[in-house]
Homo-oligomer: A and B are copies of this chain.
């Protein structure tokens, strides 16, 4: 392929993904592990060019969202404050290649309780581009799961739970790494979810129980893995009850995470529509390109 009208970029902590866009369609895509954590201040332009140079046959604009716009990123794209139309502000990043114009989307901050997002606001903007009348709650499961109240086209309020990061830490680095196998057990997930949803304080003791059950009863790995996930998501749902109780909830995430959270929400009587995060981040970047 050659030529792109513009380039969309989702640049997070661990990864960089880019899409060459022509007449509204993705005509090429690429990705690397040059996430913000792996790139020094001077490394952003080279890391981007390493992926997009084959697509360039003249000047091109790149619209990027995510941690690339943080203080430690390519340039700081100041937060918008809630309430706001998410992904509504662009900041120019300094470039040396004359063909390149790079603009970074702002994240969103909240003063009370203190909270921030960078990247998810673009997925939310993508959903609002497709469903301008959406009124309800969005759950964006991930490393830092976001719950957001949307009304009248604006992001009104949001909260973050570190559920995904906690799961990953416990799975990789804690004593539970010896107890978690591959696979999944839906009943064990539901049971654990119930436990901490109704008694969130139980997380504190239930984690080590997984290890002890492995040692004493030869508890199998898939059950322990599903239980750990259920315990953490149950505690998250307990904390987020003011968000989801009696509300329309939609999910924006990776397919596997959407599936897990859909099961969790079904368990509390909610039928959540699930949207693919990659599709929506592209829709949000496209909306920002069109507006900006």
- The 8 Å CB contact of A209, one of B113, B201, B204, is B113
- The 8 Å CB contact of A162, one of B162, B200, B208, B238, is B208
Residue in A166, A201, A203, A205 with the greatest tally of chain B CB atoms within 10 Å:
A201
Complex interface: chain B residues within 8 A of A144 (CB):
175, 208
Complex interface: chain B residues within 8 A of A110 (CB):
212
Complex interface: chain B residues within 8 A of A79 (CB):
216
Give the distance in Å from the alpha carbon of A204 to the alpha carbon of B110 in the complex.
Answer: 17
Report whether over half of chain A's contact residues are helix, strand or loop; otherwise say mixed.
helix
> Interface size on A (CB < 8 Å)?
43
* A160-B212 CB under 8 A given contacts A170-B169, A235-B201, A236-B204: yes
Q: Do residues B165 and A116 form an inter-chain contact, with CB atoms below 8 A?
A: no
Nearest residue in B to A165 (C-beta to C-beta)? B174
- The 8 Å CB contact of A200, one of B109, B113, B200, is B200
Complex interface: chain B residues within 8 A of A207 (CB):
162
Give the distance in Å from the alpha carbon of A45 to the alpha carbon of B156 in the complex.
Answer: 63
Interchain nearest-CB distance for A63 vs B (Å): 23
Complex interface: chain B residues within 8 A of A161 (CB):
204-205, 208
| A26 in the interface (beta carbon within 8 A) | no
* A165-B175 CB under 8 A given contacts A116-B216, A236-B204: yes
- Digit string of A114-131 for contact with B (CB within 8 Å is 1, else 0)? 111000000000000000
Contacts beyond the supplied A113-B209, A116-B211, A162-B175: 4 A-B pairs with Cβ under 8 Å: A161-B208, A166-B174, A201-B235, A203-B239
